[in-house]
Structure 1
């Protein structure tokens, strides 16, 4: 059985915990400033960015070397599964700022094959968040003060799945050609656009590479779409040292569910390819039979900075892509500022009306 992964690395000089230095290729000790290189890869991890066969994994045949056990905490407020240090007994959920007590739950799961390391450090992430927060209209003053504070962000690796597959899809459909003709007479004469449809059939073949599927629902889809522009070509073979000083969220969307979501993404891509293949001015797809082969997958980790802000008893999350600086989040509104703005608009409208009368 795999050992519990703790992602802690003591400094050889002073014994304090080392952390991965964003944008660098080493670990750093904040206490004494010592720098240590990343550890060597094991023979298994040398090929870590390569995929695993999907069908075998869905049948439960995953190599033991591809599994790991971590100690996780399930947040009862937002549902996040976050890794915690075994010696940590109380903490705050980084996703919703709810107070939680770490338990001894163990999570056996598929080990990450790749990791996209942090390149933006805490200061850079905080600067990106401050800029975004300052641009919010009608935000409470307390949120503006939060933006000016030195509140540190939480570095989190989010779980994702990627899927590869060769698709073959025969289809039947219709190609529409638009033409214009004149109808009516006299004052009612007009030109209309009509479509002439012709039955077509064909076949599209396409290989999908690294279709990215989130491994949890902790970050809302609307936020994820804004920040999840990750350069997968920069993936590094997984090493625990990349996680030193950070936390990792365990996946709550398992492989089978992620596969279904990935296939939906592929189907949408195939539909676009079919429409392009049909051509013409308009397209209809009457039937398509997508089949997949050579399916493979990998579990990967993506870096974000997260801040959780509580306002009037409600939690608001802000997420910063730790590679690009893209920001997404929930925001509170100030009813007083909105009411004041409405009042000003009404006064201006009243003045304009008086001047025009």
Structure 2
């Protein structure tokens, strides 16, 4: 059984752990400032980003070289499985701020084939989060105080699946052309829209490239969707050096479950292409025979800065895309501020009514 990969690289000068410097191509020692350069990816490394056949993997035929095992801690509150430094004995879960004791287990999984390294520093992520927090209406004062504090963010690589697939879809439908006509007379005169339909049929042939499906259940779906604007053409072949100083979450959405979500995206995409092909003012799809073939996939790691905040016993998360600065988050509301605003609104309406008499 292979040893768990710890993603730790000692400094050649002082022996402290090096960390990957966001936006750079070197590891850096926070203790003595020494750096260790990472060379550019070679053309031969690009082959490491090639997808694996889905059918073989779904049947359990995954090459042993494509499997790895890592040490993780499972949070009992939110279910996150996150890599932790084995020297840590207690910590907070970065996803829900619940205290956890690092009684580690192992996570055997399909190895990442690609990684998007961090380009935004922790300070960049903190600035983006503070801007978002300060713009919230009716936020509790405790949250405003949190925005002004220098709370540390956690750098996490989130697990994602990407899928490629070829599709062929013959379809039958109807194209609607709108016409405006005037009906009635006098006070009953009005304009209405009439749609004239005619049957159409066609065939859509389309290749879907890098459909993105999150491999984690720890982020709400709307959060994951809001920050998922990643440029996958910038993926680097997986190297553990990119993870130095960061944590990585193990995937909790397995490959077959991710395929279900990919199929949903494919069907939605094909329906949109059919409507574009039908044209006209309105479209109806009466029948479509979607055929999906040559499905391939890969496991990739994408970077976020994350902070968790507890308010009145409930956890709230703030997530920053560590490439673009997009922010998604949950937020509490102050019932006192809402009540005060409602009171002011009622007084304002009352004054308007009083002086309008």
Report the Cα distance in structure 2 between the residues aligned to 1:119 and 1:153, rounded to whole angstroms: 15
Q: How far apart are 1:193 and its partner, in Å?
A: 1.4
User: Aligned ranges for residues 84-233 of structure 1 at < 5 Å?
Assistant: 84-233=84-233
Q: How far apart are 1:75 and its partner, in Å?
A: 1.1
Say which SS state the counterpart of residue 87 (structure 1) adopts: coil
Report the Cα distance in structure 2 between the residues aligned to 1:185 and 1:129, rounded to whole angstroms: 60
1:45/1:113 contact within 8 Å kept: no
2:74/2:104 contact within 8 Å kept: no
Q: How far apart are 1:294 and its partner, in Å?
A: 1.9
TM-score by length of 1: 0.96
Q: How far apart are 1:290 and its partner, in Å?
A: 1.1
2:41/2:236 contact within 8 Å kept: no
Report the Cα distance in structure 1 between the residues aligned to 2:285 and 2:220, rounded to whole angstroms: 31
Deviates more, 1:62-71 or 1:190-199: 190-199
2:14/2:32 contact within 8 Å kept: yes
Alignment: residue pair count: 357
> Relative to structure 1, is the Cα distance of residues 43 and 60 closer, same or farther in structure 2, using a 3 angstrom cutoff?
farther
Q: How far apart are 1:141 and its partner, in Å?
A: 1.0
Does 1:246 find its partner at 2:222?
A: no
Report the Cα distance in structure 1 between the residues aligned to 2:156 and 2:53, rounded to whole angstroms: 28
Partner in structure 1 of residue 293 of structure 2: 293
Query: Unpaired runs of 5+ in structure 1?
Result: none
Q: How far apart are 1:76 and its partner, in Å?
A: 1.4
Partner in structure 2 of residue 342 of structure 1: 342
Q: How far apart are 1:148 and its partner, in Å?
A: 0.9
1:73/1:81 contact within 8 Å kept: yes
> Relative to structure 1, is the Cα distance of residues 42 and 356 closer, same or farther in structure 2, using a 3 angstrom cutoff?
closer
Query: Unpaired runs of 5+ in structure 2?
Result: none
Deviates more, 1:296-305 or 1:194-203: 194-203
> Relative to structure 1, is the Cα distance of residues 183 and 355 closer, same or farther in structure 2, using a 3 angstrom cutoff?
closer
Report the Cα distance in structure 2 between the residues aligned to 1:262 and 1:217, rounded to whole angstroms: 16
Say which SS state the counterpart of residue 49 (structure 2) adopts: coil
Say which SS state the counterpart of residue 345 (structure 1) adopts: helix
Report the Cα distance in structure 2 between the residues aligned to 1:3 and 1:10, rounded to whole angstroms: 18
Report the Cα distance in structure 1 between the residues aligned to 2:59 and 2:132, rounded to whole angstroms: 45
What's the CA shift string for 1:86-141, capped at 9, x where partnerless? Answer: 33332210000001112231111001010001011111111111111111111111
2:155/2:306 contact within 8 Å kept: yes
Q: How far apart are 1:39 and its partner, in Å?
A: 7.2
> Relative to structure 1, is the Cα distance of residues 127 and 283 closer, same or farther in structure 2, using a 3 angstrom cutoff?
same
Report the Cα distance in structure 2 between the residues aligned to 1:177 and 1:245, rounded to whole angstroms: 59
Report the Cα distance in structure 2 between the residues aligned to 1:340 and 1:281, rounded to whole angstroms: 48
Report the Cα distance in structure 2 between the residues aligned to 1:12 and 1:236, rounded to whole angstroms: 25
> Relative to structure 1, is the Cα distance of residues 66 and 247 closer, same or farther in structure 2, using a 3 angstrom cutoff?
same
1:39/1:241 contact within 8 Å kept: no
Say which SS state the counterpart of residue 103 (structure 1) adopts: coil
TM-score by length of 2: 0.96
Report the Cα distance in structure 2 between the residues aligned to 1:186 and 1:356, rounded to whole angstroms: 37
Report the Cα distance in structure 2 between the residues aligned to 1:120 and 1:229, rounded to whole angstroms: 15
> Relative to structure 1, is the Cα distance of residues 2 and 45 closer, same or farther in structure 2, using a 3 angstrom cutoff?
farther
> Relative to structure 1, is the Cα distance of residues 156 and 211 closer, same or farther in structure 2, using a 3 angstrom cutoff?
same
Deviates more, 1:173-182 or 1:254-263: 173-182
Report the Cα distance in structure 1 between the residues aligned to 2:61 and 2:87, rounded to whole angstroms: 33
